[in-house]
């Protein structure tokens, strides 16, 4: 059993894991490869990771998405066996997908614009990424953030050194240096994780658990894929509808903007476990109280980031990526609406209404594709950024309506969710209005950081257990 920690204390450890994972990915993708590669090569790396995520989502069936529910349904003492059995389900899925890939080599290679060995590496790396997520999810629901942080970050830490060396060694097709480096890093981490999963769980097949897992996780496959379309597939569409320059600019801007996502994802690791427990016992007042503190903290950090982000890009990206600066506030604000949407999705997941999650997210993804088809040919990367914002607003609204009026019983009111959104929209507008007045933006940004620290100090007493 995990130690009793405060909510913000646990969230702090999860944040360390996100910083180690996303921070090293950010350094590698933007500060290193953004300068070592041409626009064309950088665009290829960006698209490669899109396919890695897509194939990993399908191969693993999002089995780890059911582990928090399983903790309440079957008990903590069965969690090792449940984790092992559902990983076995993922292995069966992976074997089937590998067979399909081998049968469709030429079709996949032509459609993805990669040699088949790179296509195969997308699948293999994606599955090992799922493996690492699977073992990390168990430690998350057991409230062991240190182990969670280790597993979510180790492959990224290995990658930053290995990929950089390989990229520097290659004189042509430098993108392959990162492809090889990341595939090896995730392969090593994932192999060790797989051994530990089976060593501790000692279970491969359990019909009851497989059925339970699929009832929750299978709809999440469609939801996660659709969610990924909302942000990452923009890069694929830019590659086909615009120029490598626009794809690189958007990718660079998005790598900065998703820092907003990193903040709330880290905190959601603590929130989702705490929220499931409180919802299970009907502690509505506790939920509303922590929601106010938690949402205020993330809002203040997100506002601060949005205000100062243009200057960070100018410092690290230089003139090469200067044209991507205007895209960041739009993408960051869109990512903030994803934070608001997470509250509704946690409730839908607790209620095991994951088919609704899939329906809502696929609808928003379809909207994103339509908007991209219209906006990218006219406005390039800025068009993709606008599409991201509009689609995430739609995603939030759809899932709020589902949670409130279809599932029913959702505790958080619309006004309570709307107020943080208005603050973020105001920050986006202020960033554009003061884009060349950095002292004003930084003054407000620093103030927001001070207020966020004050919120943290006032909320340290709220316990996870």
Residue 130 lies in a domain: yes
One domain, residues 181 and 243? no
CB 180 within 8 A of CB 166: yes
Q: Give residue 27's pLDDT.
A: 67
Which residue range(s) make up the domain with 295? 220-460
pLDDT tens digits, 391-447:
999 999 999 999 999 999 999 999 999 999 999 999 999 999 998 898 999 999 999
One domain, residues 43 and 177? yes
The whole-angstrom separation of Cα 232 and Cα 54 is: 10
One domain, residues 196 and 248? no
pLDDT tens digits, 318-373:
667 777 788 889 988 998 999 999 999 999 999 999 999 999 999 999 999 999 99
One domain, residues 142 and 247? no
The whole-angstrom separation of Cα 297 and Cα 341 is: 16
Report phi then psi at 144, rounded to 5: -120, 75
Of 205, 228, 243, which residue is a domain's last? 205
One domain, residues 195 and 224? no
Residue 465 lies in a domain: no
One domain, residues 146 and 256? no
Torsion of CA 371, 374, 380, 381, to 10 degrees: 0
Residue 89 lies in a domain: yes
Q: Give residue 58's pLDDT.
A: 94
Residue owning tokens 């019909």: 207
Nearest-CA neighbor of 192 among 158, 163, 146, 144?
Answer: 158
CB 21 within 8 A of CB 222: no
Of 182, 205, 228, which residue is a domain's last? 205
One domain, residues 224 and 277? yes
Of 171, 205, 239, which residue is a domain's last? 205
Residue 268 lies in a domain: yes
One domain, residues 264 and 361? yes
One domain, residues 351 and 437? yes
Total number of domains in the chain: 2
CB 308 within 8 A of CB 445: yes
Residue 215 lies in a domain: no
Nearest-CA neighbor of 335 among 254, 445, 225?
Answer: 254
Q: Give residue 26's pLDDT.
A: 65
Residue 212 lies in a domain: no
Q: What is the mean pLDDT of each run of 10 residues along the chain (465 residues)?
A: 65 78 68 68 81 93 95 93 97 96 94 92 96 95 88 89 85 86 95 97 96 94 82 76 79 73 80 90 91 92 91 75 84 91 94 92 92 90 91 94 94 94 95 91 94 81 59
Structure tokens, 298: 């993330």
Give the sign of the dihedral formed by CA 26, CA 32, CA 38, CA 41: negative
One domain, residues 186 and 230? no
Return the ∠ at Cα 255 (arms to 251 and 258), rounded to 5°: 125
One domain, residues 78 and 192? yes
One domain, residues 155 and 270? no
Residue 76 lies in a domain: yes
CB 170 within 8 A of CB 158: no
- Return the bridge partners of 463, or none: 6
Residue 214 lies in a domain: no
Q: Give residue 463's pLDDT.
A: 56
The whole-angstrom separation of Cα 360 and Cα 397 is: 9
Predicted structure pTM score:
0.82
């Amino acid at each position: 059993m995990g130690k009793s920690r405060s909510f913000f204390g646990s969230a702090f450890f999860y944040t360390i894991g996100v910083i180690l994972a996303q921070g090293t990915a950010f350094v590698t993708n933007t500060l290193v490869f953004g300068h070592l590669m041409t626009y064309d090569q950088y665009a290829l790396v960006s698209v490669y990771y899109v396919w890695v995520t897509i194939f990993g989502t399908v191969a693993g069936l999002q089995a780890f998405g059911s582990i928090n529910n399983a903790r309440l349904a079957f008990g903590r003492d069965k969690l090792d066996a449940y984790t092992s059995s559902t990983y076995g389900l993922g292995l069966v899925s992976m074997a089937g997908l590998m067979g399909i890939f081998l049968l469709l080599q030429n079709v996949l290679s032509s459609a993805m614009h990669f040699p088949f060995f790179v296509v195969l590496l997308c699948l293999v790396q994606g599955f090992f990424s799922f493996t690492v997520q699977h073992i990390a999810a168990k430690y998350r629901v057991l409230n062991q953030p240190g182990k969670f942080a280790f597993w979510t970050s180790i492959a990224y830490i290995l990658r930053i050194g290995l990929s950089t060396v390989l990229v520097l060694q290659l004189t042509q097709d430098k993108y392959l240096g990162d492809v090889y480096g990341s595939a090896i890093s995730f392969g090593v981490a994932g192999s060790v994780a797989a051994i530990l999963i089976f060593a501790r769980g000692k279970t491969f097949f359990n019909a009851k658990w497989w059925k339970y897992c699929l009832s929750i996780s299978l709809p999440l496959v469609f939801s996660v894929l659709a969610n990924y379309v909302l942000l990452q597939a923009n890069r694929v569409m830019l590659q086909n509808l615009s120029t490598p320059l626009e794809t690189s600019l958007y990718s660079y801007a998005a790598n900065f903007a998703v820092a907003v996502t990193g903040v709330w994802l880290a905190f959601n690791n603590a929130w989702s476990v705490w929220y499931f427990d409180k919802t299970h016992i009907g502690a509505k007042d506790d939920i509303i109280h922590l929601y106010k503190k938690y949402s205020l903290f993330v809002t203040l950090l997100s506002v601060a980031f949005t205000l100062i982000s243009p200057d960070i890009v100018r410092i690290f990206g230089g003139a090469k990526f200067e044209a991507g600066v205007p895209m960041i506030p739009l993408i960051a604000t869109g990512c903030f609406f994803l934070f608001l949407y997470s509250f509704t999705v946690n409730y839908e997941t607790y209620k095991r209404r994951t088919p609704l999650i899939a329906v809502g997210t696929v609808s928003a993804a379809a909207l994103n594709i339509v908007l991209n088809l219209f906006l990218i040919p006219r406005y390039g990367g800025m068009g993709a950024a606008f599409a991201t914002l509009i689609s995430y607003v739609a995603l939030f609204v759809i899932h709020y309506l589902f949670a409130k009026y279809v599932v029913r019983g959702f505790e958080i009111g619309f006004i309570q969710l709307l107020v943080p959104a208005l603050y973020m929209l105001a920050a986006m507008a202020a960033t554009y209005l003061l884009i060349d007045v950095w002292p004003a933006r930084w003054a407000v940004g620093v103030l927001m950081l001070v207020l966020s620290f004050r919120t943290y100090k006032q909320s340290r007493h709220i316990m996870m257990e």
